[in-house]
Structure 1
Amino acid sequence: MNKVRKRKMTAALCLAVSISVFTGCSSESTPKSTAQTGTAAPTKEAPYNMSIMMKSFYNDSITAESKIWKKTEEVTNTKLDVLFTPDANYADKLNVTLASGSLPSVIFVTGNLVKMPSIVNAVKGGAFWEIGPYLKDYPNLKQMNPIILNNTSYNGKTYGLYTARPIGRYGVSYRKDWLTNLGMSEPKTVDDFYNMLKAFKEKDPDKNGKNDTYGMVVSKYAGPWDVMQNWFGVPNKWGLDMDGKLLPAQLTPEYMYALKFFKKLYDEQLVNADFPVYDSAKWNDPIINGKAGVAVDVVGRSYQIQEAMQAAKVPGEIDLFGTVKGPKGEFNLATTGYGGVFMISKSAVKTEADLKKVLNFFDKTNDKDMQLLITNGLEGTHYKVEDGKLVTLLTPEMPQAPDINIKSFNQLLLGVPNVLDTAFKAGTPLREKALDVQTANEKNVVPNPGEPLLSATYTQKGAQLDQLLEDARVKFIVGKIDEAGFMAEMEQWKKNGGTDYIKEMNEAYAESQKK
């Protein structure tokens, strides 16, 4: 090779190198592989180690070997350590964990424990992150319902991610075939509802020629009375008086109107006389067995009863409606809207950057495909879809290999947004109607304005105050006390802490209105 040619090749090579250097800095360049560029590819951020304490309903809950677990870690870029705790002793374990001061990254607090003393004190002591200001930055979390966020808050500040429950969940399940036999229409008013119960008791709705039926089955669970008293305009635990101050529901005139209605149902034997001690686990039995015609509870009870009747080959048809019109309008008792909250520990999640990784985990797990995976498992393994309907292949009771185990994992889902109700066709027309009734109820639900407020007295004495009120209501319904006796019980309620409770709630409410 002569010297001239050699110098030309060297110059060309230098020019190519120069061009490649400058081109590599251009934002419009096409990315090159490590082999092409000779540089290392960007490294993925290491998975975030995250521990979660939550409920388990099985002895053989999901483990890290499961494909569902591994997929969740992959999507959220986390390494999970789930501390499953049996439901039966969850409250005890939660208190022990709080007392230890050694908290996991996230703890689940069930709805009935959200305002218990140990949690309230931990919030006041700064144990958990306030997360309200961050929710707007996440596509799923920002869709959280303001009413439910308020219900789970502590004096208006959000410290937990709620697990969603329908806010308009209550309704009336009834024997439609009985109503048809009697030539009656679905109730629209409180009077219609009473007439239905009376006809179910007195007019032989099953046409068997026997006086062996009654109107409504109620158990020792107090929920039905709370739902029905709302029809009369009774507030949801707390209402506002003429001066704009909070007033407990039981001290309103409407409460006594409702009590007198309940006593009338009891006196006329339209409800079971043993309701104060009747086991709620047997709630459906009198309807399935053709003794009672109505249950007031969540809308899902309607199809539970219908499907149990079909399984037992008992003839009959169940139907459902949401509410009836009372003296002051049409109301439906709002649920709190949550089953519990996930609270993020400041001692384990030390920085804002790590907090955002935890929030990202909960946001990502509530994408539609992740909700379906975590709830239903693997299509073709745990379920299949036929004509748009979900058909279960592996039930929680059936043995599952470790790599496809899914048990208890759905306990970590928030359900925001709610995609599970509409992902598949409803299995039956009644199941579909239950969803429709839930949605329709939302237009007239009555929330509790006192739900987010804290009272030191209630934190200490709430269980006793609630029990005193419930006992007084039952005593009135069964005739052990009259109106004067009930008012005397309420005076005792005030002396036992109720007066301080009202004062503290109004102070907290007044403060919340300034924000």
Structure 2
Amino acid sequence: MFRGKKAKLGLSLLSAGVVLLVGCSEKGSSTNDGEGGAAIDTIDIMTMSYTPEPPQNDSPVIKELEELTGKKMNMLFVPSTTYGDRFNVTLASGNLPHVMLGDKSPSYISAVRDGAFWDLTDYLDEYENLKVNDIVKENVSIEGRIYGIPRARPLGRNAVVIRKDWLENLGLDTPETVDDFYEVLKAFTYDDPDGNGEDDTYGMAISEFEGPWDIMQTWFGAPNKWGFDEGGELIPDFTTDEYRDAIKWFNQIYEEGLINEDFAIMDPTQWTNPMVNEEVGLIVDVADTAGRVNKAMTDRDPELDDVLDVFGAVSGDHGLVTKPTTGYHSVFSVSKTSVKTEEELKEVLQFLNDLNSEEAQNLTINGIEGRHYEVEDGNLVSLVADDEKMRNEFQDLNQIQMYLPEEKFLKPEESELTKRSNEVMVQNEEIVLPDPAYPLVSKIYAQRGQQLDNIIGDARIQYIIGELDDAGFDEAIQTWMNSGGEDYVKEINELYKESQSGTN
């Protein structure tokens, strides 16, 4: 619980970050003499981890993957909370692994332009398990070219996870409008939804991850990053009246104690803990969060099974919409410094193709049959649910999986909650609000994007916690414009017009 006296969070605290320097491993050995033969013996893969103890290179699951792919694997796991910093440090060092997880951040785009990664556009269709959906291809492209293999995700994945038993206890229905949503938050905070007579619950948990704000502001009619003005020109979302309506509402629910007061400094890895601990009634995240939270809750108390529900969004004055995902979560790029020839590139691509086979997907997601799981009536049954040491042999290996061209791995028998989550993701595809500028690659953003994002990101948080008023937010917008934003808007409009005319 974080109600009561508000902690005032300074801008420096919100912007501060810690760079973790971790020694680089030895590069994978090469036996390429230019005359053919195996070029790469060991493939270094840098990706993120979400568990405290990701698999070590001597894991029996990694050994199985090595036998399947014919390549030794050197896994470089970096905690998700520090991955962005480590990515930038690794780029600056010039000592890149063969395969590196990245996204369309300014530093990644700059690295692409500097020739750090292979252009994969003309290669992917040659590999059965590296074929990419056309929409996702456009989203991952940089100036029409593809420099990374996407990790596929559903477009309609964003959703709300809610305690349906708390709704029932309070005689409330699943919210359908923004006003309904507010009333549910208020009731979950002040009307004793768990019936224990204590003031120990609140409405919604939020962490320093900005995703929930981005999702919820579309409910108010704010564009998804970029929208159009009355003259058909692209404008940033934060310059619209609808965005301002949204952040005023965010400030209201903060001031009324309907969300956790420490959201701006809460570690995203701890985000679901308040729901697991029965302190909070809902989370705005992705639909499949429901399954993970449900498992953690039932591990803690089996009687908590079947207390969660999922829904896609609530409607505001502009109808029912929600922010889509990009259809992928980061990309795997191949370094041109570690992978020097086309022959070596094709070896790495074949390795990644093999990682997407049915057998490899099962290994990375489920572990080894007979050791970590067994199959009953075509469904997966875990053998290590209560054995953390055994789970550590394969957990986080899903972070090297791309799920291309589709998910092929075995799954447990689906619960009603999982079925509901999947239904919501499909239904959401009808209401997602695209970002018209997403495929465009701005040179200005590549150079100044982090600075520009921080200006508005920090201003939004300060507005929510009451450290900025409307005039202060207007000043932040002007600072954004003066820091390169005005040129950025002009460039995006030029790029968009070129793309629409087919000259880009």
- Which residue does the alignment assign to 1:364? 354
**Given the alignment, which residue of 76, 79, 98 partners 1:84?**
76
Secondary structure, in 3 states, of the residue corresponding to 1:443?
coil
* 1:62 partnered with 2:57: yes
* 1:377 partnered with 2:341: no
Give the TM-score, by structure 2 length.
0.80
Distance 1:130 1:241 in 2: 35
- Which residue does the alignment assign to 1:213? 201
Distance 2:393 2:189 in 1: 49
**Given the alignment, which residue of 318, 327, 342 partners 1:328?**
318
Matched AA of 2:221: G
Distance 2:233 2:470 in 1: 25
- Which residue does the alignment assign to 2:296? 308
After alignment, is 411-420 or 80-89 more displaced? 80-89
Kindly indicate whether the alpha-carbon contact (under 8 Å) linking 2:100 and 2:334 is maintained by their aligned counterparts in 1: no
Distance 1:410 1:189 in 2: 36
Residues 155 and 68 of structure 1, relative CA distance in 2, 3 Å threshold: same
Matches within 5 A, 1:189-338: 189-313=177-301, 316=304, 317-338=307-328
Distance 2:44 2:271 in 1: 35
Matched AA of 1:120: I
Residues 511 and 440 of structure 1, relative CA distance in 2, 3 Å threshold: same
Distance 1:96 1:441 in 2: 37
Deviations 1:252-303 (A, max 9, x none): 2211121222233234333234433444444334334444312111223323
Kindly indicate whether the alpha-carbon contact (under 8 Å) linking 1:246 and 1:502 is maintained by their aligned counterparts in 2: yes
- Kindly state the Cα deviation for residue 179 of structure 1 after the two structures are TM-superposed: 0.8
- Which residue does the alignment assign to 1:139? 128
Kindly indicate whether the alpha-carbon contact (under 8 Å) linking 2:150 and 2:328 is maintained by their aligned counterparts in 1: yes
- Kindly state the Cα deviation for residue 349 of structure 1 after the two structures are TM-superposed: 4.5
Matches within 5 A, 1:105-184: 106-111=98-103, 114-117=104-107, 119-142=108-131, 144-184=132-172
Give the TM-score, by structure 1 length.
0.78
Kindly indicate whether the alpha-carbon contact (under 8 Å) linking 1:62 and 1:409 is maintained by their aligned counterparts in 2: no
Residues 85 and 319 of structure 1, relative CA distance in 2, 3 Å threshold: closer
- Kindly state the Cα deviation for residue 321 of structure 1 after the two structures are TM-superposed: 0.9
**Given the alignment, which residue of 389, 400, 419 partners 1:398?**
389
* 1:482 partnered with 2:478: no
- Kindly state the Cα deviation for residue 342 of structure 1 after the two structures are TM-superposed: 1.9
- What runs of 5+ residues in structure 2 fail to find an aligned partner? 1-35
Matched AA of 1:71: E
Structure of greater Rg: 1
Kindly indicate whether the alpha-carbon contact (under 8 Å) linking 2:372 and 2:390 is maintained by their aligned counterparts in 1: no
- Which residue does the alignment assign to 2:26? none
Residues 409 and 268 of structure 1, relative CA distance in 2, 3 Å threshold: closer
Residues 312 and 364 of structure 1, relative CA distance in 2, 3 Å threshold: closer
* 1:73 partnered with 2:77: no
- Kindly state the Cα deviation for residue 425 of structure 1 after the two structures are TM-superposed: 3.8
Aligned residues: 458
Distance 1:507 1:244 in 2: 12
Secondary structure, in 3 states, of the residue corresponding to 2:368?
coil
- Which residue does the alignment assign to 1:505? 492
Residues 249 and 437 of structure 1, relative CA distance in 2, 3 Å threshold: same
Deviations 1:374-415 (A, max 9, x none): 332321122112344322335784269xxx965665443211
After alignment, is 348-357 or 159-168 more displaced? 348-357
Matched AA of 2:57: I
**Given the alignment, which residue of 489, 492, 506 partners 2:479?**
492
Distance 1:330 1:464 in 2: 32
Secondary structure, in 3 states, of the residue corresponding to 1:159?
coil
Deviations 1:463-492 (A, max 9, x none): 232222122222322333332332222112
Kindly indicate whether the alpha-carbon contact (under 8 Å) linking 1:63 and 1:69 is maintained by their aligned counterparts in 2: no
Residues 488 and 284 of structure 1, relative CA distance in 2, 3 Å threshold: same
Deviations 1:52-111 (A, max 9, x none): 33237557523498541343224xxxx44535354477656655654565655x321333
Distance 2:419 2:311 in 1: 13
Kindly indicate whether the alpha-carbon contact (under 8 Å) linking 1:49 and 1:80 is maintained by their aligned counterparts in 2: no
Aligned Cα RMSD in Å?
Answer: 3.2
Residues 410 and 197 of structure 1, relative CA distance in 2, 3 Å threshold: closer
Deviations 1:281-328 (A, max 9, x none): 443343344443121112233233333332222855121111122222
- Kindly state the Cα deviation for residue 348 of structure 1 after the two structures are TM-superposed: 5.0
- Which residue does the alignment assign to 1:339? 329
Deviations 1:21-47 (A, max 9, x none): xxxxxxxxxxxxxxxxxxxxxxxx955
Distance 1:290 1:63 in 2: 38
Percent pairwise identity: 41
Residues 350 and 511 of structure 1, relative CA distance in 2, 3 Å threshold: farther
Matched AA of 1:179: L
Distance 2:478 2:199 in 1: 42
